[in-house]
Every structure is written in structure tokens, then in C-alpha cells.
């Protein structure tokens, strides 16, 4: 039942996106098993500074971060939106165990295989912490937690996942997140900062071709799951970065005029050089982050930077 529901949503979203006058696909669909594995490799590639920067913050500042929370909340559950493999979060979780300020970690992720992996592997690394992973989208899972776990919370939204929304969408998301929390709860969000534009562009155009493969995998996923006949070779990976707006957008460009069909007979026509908009990875200034939080009803507490000030956990 659930699988069919998810399959039909994927199909609906793909058809809607590729039938639009300006074709697009949704980045949440990058993360099937192949996409998860490619994203792991991206996180370790030399150009992708984000993971290194945020790992440094969590390795060095988890104590400070938790101290700021325990100043007003002695004990809280740690909920993580888009936990992935939790490889950075583990530093904060271990510190929380040592400080005895949290006994439950609730990772939420769209990837069922990631959640199964976390539920299986984390308890051994975090003796005394209950790990209750949930697979699904953020808002439905937060709504579920609001009634099932009405405990004080620290919500983690790390890794610049918020960057997949444009600023107005991010603002709406934070307002919605705010409605699922209680006064006194905390949120720690990872933002990638505006910086040397070339450094940003290189992070989304790695020499090893991992980001290219990551984008093309979504076309291949459409082939695997929806019986599509995309030819990955007929699309070029094309990222752009606008230093004013802070939007880094990835496109796949059709190299020729072509028609793609799905197993239900739906078809999509591409002109030569027609783009598919794949993803935005929005970058922020420190001032913009403060405005975004306040507009949604949050009170800024503290900003934690890596030593090169590439990234901020706020
Ligand atoms: C998971 C959304 C933070 O935008 O940097 C990495 C995804 N895409 N390389 C990002 C991604 C291409 C990543 N986020």
C-alpha cells in the first residue's frame, strides 16, 4: 500500500514537472539507494566543502550548542529533519549523552534505507539513547510527533538541506515548522553562506563527475521505477551560481531534440538545449539568516561558524 502510494506520487510529480512549460524535477527524489550512495561520495569529494565545514562545527562546538539549550531546557528529545547517515550528528549526540541532556534521538528521512540503517546501527554507538527513526516527509512526521511525543525538543535541520528551498519557500517552511513546536523548543539549522562564487560553483561541478552522476541518477530512477527511456548521455549537467541572490541552481540540458516516454504512455518532448531545473542550493548571508528566522517567529540564540566561515549552524 505504502509503496504504491509513494510510487504514484513520484509518477505524478514527474509528470507534472516534465509537462510544465519550464521543466523541473523535485530534489527530494534524488535520494533512492543509488542517489544516497552518490550523495555520500559527494560529501567526501574535495570540492564539496559543506560537509567538512559543518563536521568541524559539530566536532568542536557541540558542547557550547548543548549548553545554550540546557540553559533553559534541562532535558529534551533530539529530532533531526533529513538525518541521512547522521555521520555529523553523532558528535552532538555523543556530547548530549555525556551531558545527560537527551535520551531520545528521532531521525526523520525520506530514505527508508537510511532510517533502517540508523535504527540498526546507532544504538551500539549511543548506549543509553533511544533511537526512533521515522521515514517520511518532514511536515507529516512533525505533525505526528506533535501528538505522539509532546516532549521538549531540539530540532536539527543540518547540512544546508534548507538550501533546497528558495528564500520565500524557506520562510514558509520555517513558519510551518514553528507551528509544530512548543514555546521554549530549539531549532539548529545549517546554512551554507555566501562566499567566493567560484568556490560555490566548483562544489556543484566536481571534477570527478559525482554531482553530474547524482543529477543523471534521477533520470535513471525514472527509467527504473516508471519505465522511462531517458538516455543519460543526451543530457549535460549545468550548474550556475548567482552571487547576488545566492541561488546556486542545477540544470540538465537536453543535447538534442528528443522524446522520452514512460511505461504508462506519457511522453515528454525536449528541444535541443532545453533545460530541466533540478535543484536550488540557496546560499545566505548572516543578516539574511536572522531575518528569515525572526519572520517565522523564532528568536535567534547563537550562530556557530567553522574556522573558515564557510558555513553556519544557527
Ligand atoms: C543536501 C541539499 C544540502 O544542495 O548542497 C549536493 C544536495 N546537490 N550536491 C546541497 C547536493 C548537489 C545538497 N543538500
The Cα 23–Cα 80 span in angstroms is: 31
Q: 177: closest CA among 152, 155, 144?
A: 155
Q: Take residue 15 and report the three cell numbers written for it.
A: 509528470
Q: What is the DSSP letter of 245?
A: T
What's the gap in Å between 239 CA and the centre of ligand 1?
A: 12
What band does 291 get if pLDDT is binned at 50, 70 and 90? very high
- Ligand 1 atom nearest the C-alpha of 280 is 4
Give the count of beta carbons closer than 10 Å to the beta carbon of residue 314.
21
Average pLDDT value for residue range 283-299: 97
Read off the pTM: 0.95
Ligand 1 in reach of 161 Cβ (< 6 A):
yes
Element (H, E) at 137: none
| Predicted confidence (pLDDT) at residue 112 exceeds the cutoff of 60 | yes
Ligand 1 in reach of 278 Cβ (< 6 A):
no
The Cα 155–Cα 158 span in angstroms is: 9
Q: Take residue 27 and report the three cell numbers written for it.
A: 530534489
Position 4 scores a pLDDT of 52
Burial 165-183 (b: 16+ CB within 10 A, else e): bebeebbebbeebeebbee
E runs forming strands in the chain: 77-81, 104-109, 130-131, 134-135, 153-157, 186-192, 235-242, 247-254, 258-261, 267-270, 275-282, 304-305, 311-313
- Ligand 1 atom nearest the C-alpha of 214 is 12
Cβ–Cβ < 8 Å for 310, 49: yes
Q: Take residue 127 and report the three cell numbers written for it.
A: 548506549
Ligand 1 in reach of 190 Cβ (< 6 A):
no
Position 6 scores a pLDDT of 58
**Radius of gyration in angstroms for the set of CA atoms belonging to the chain, rounded to a whole number:** 20
Ligand 1 in reach of 211 Cβ (< 6 A):
yes
Position 1 scores a pLDDT of 40
Report which protein residue has its CA nearest ligand 1's atom 5. Answer: 281
pLDDT, tens only, 229-285? 999 999 999 999 999 999 999 999 999 999 999 999 999 999 999 999 999 999 999
ipTM above 0.90, yes or no: yes
CB neighbour list of residue 182: distance below 8 Å, 6 or more residues apart = 150, 152, 153
pLDDT, tens only, 43-62? 999 999 999 999 999 999 99
The Cα 247–Cα 119 span in angstroms is: 35
| Predicted confidence (pLDDT) at residue 197 exceeds the cutoff of 80 | yes
Position 8 scores a pLDDT of 82
What's the gap in Å between 159 CA and the centre of ligand 1?
A: 8
Position 140 scores a pLDDT of 93
Amino acid at each position: 500500500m505504502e509503496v504504491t502510494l509513494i510510487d504514484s506520487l513520484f509518477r505524478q510529480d514527474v509528470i507534472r514537472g516534465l509537462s510544465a512549460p519550464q521543466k523541473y524535477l523535485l530534489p527530494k527524489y534524488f535520494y533512492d539507494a543509488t542517489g544516497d550512495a552518490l550523495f555520500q561520495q559527494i560529501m567526501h569529494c574535495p570540492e564539496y566543502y559543506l560537509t567538512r565545514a559543518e563536521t568541524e562545527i559539530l566536532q568542536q562546538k557541540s558542547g557550547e550548542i548543548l549548553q545554550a539549550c540546557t540553559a533553559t531546557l534541562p532535558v529534551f528529545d533530539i529530532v533531526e529533519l533529513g538525518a541521512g547517515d547522521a555521520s555529523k550528528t553523532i558528535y552532538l549526540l555523543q556530547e548530549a549523552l555525556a551531558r545527560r541532556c537527551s535520551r531520545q534521538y528521532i531521525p526523520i528521512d525520506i530514505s527508508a534505507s537510511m532510517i533502517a540503517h540508523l535504527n540498526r546501527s546507532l544504538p551500539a554507538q549511543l548506549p543509553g539513547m533511544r533511537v526512533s527513526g521515522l521515514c517520511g516527509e518532514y511536515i507529516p512526521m512533525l505533525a505526528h510527533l506533535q501528538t505522539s511525543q509532546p516532549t521538549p525538543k531540539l530540532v536539527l535541520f543540518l547540512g544546508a538541506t534548507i538550501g533546497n528551498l528558495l528564500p520565500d519557500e524557506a520562510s514558509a517552511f520555517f513558519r510551518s515548522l514553528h507551528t509544530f513546536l512548543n514555546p521554549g523548543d530549539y531549532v539548529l539549522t545549517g546554512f551554507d553562506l555566501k562566499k567566493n562564487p567560484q568556490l560555490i560553483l566548483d562544489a556543484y561541478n566536481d571534477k570527478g563527475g559525482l554531482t553530474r552522476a547524482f543529477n543523471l541518477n534521477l533520470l535513471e530512477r525514472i527509467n527504473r521505477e516508471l519505465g522511462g527511456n531517458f538516455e543519460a548521455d543526451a543530457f549535460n549537467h549545468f550548474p550556475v551560481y548567482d552571487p547576488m541572490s545566492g541561488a546556486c541552481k542545477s540544470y540538465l540540458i537536453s543535447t538534442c531534440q528528443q522524446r522520452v516516454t514512460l511505461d504508462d504512455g506519457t511522453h515528454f518532448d525536449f528541444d535541443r538545449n532545453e533545460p530541466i531545473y533540478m535543484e536550488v542550493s540557496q546560499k545566505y548571508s548572516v543578516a539574511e539568516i536572522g531575518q528569515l528566522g525572526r519572520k517565522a517567529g523564532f528568536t535567534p540564540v547563537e550562530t556557530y561558524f567553522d574556522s573558515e566561515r564557510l558555513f553556519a549552524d544557527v
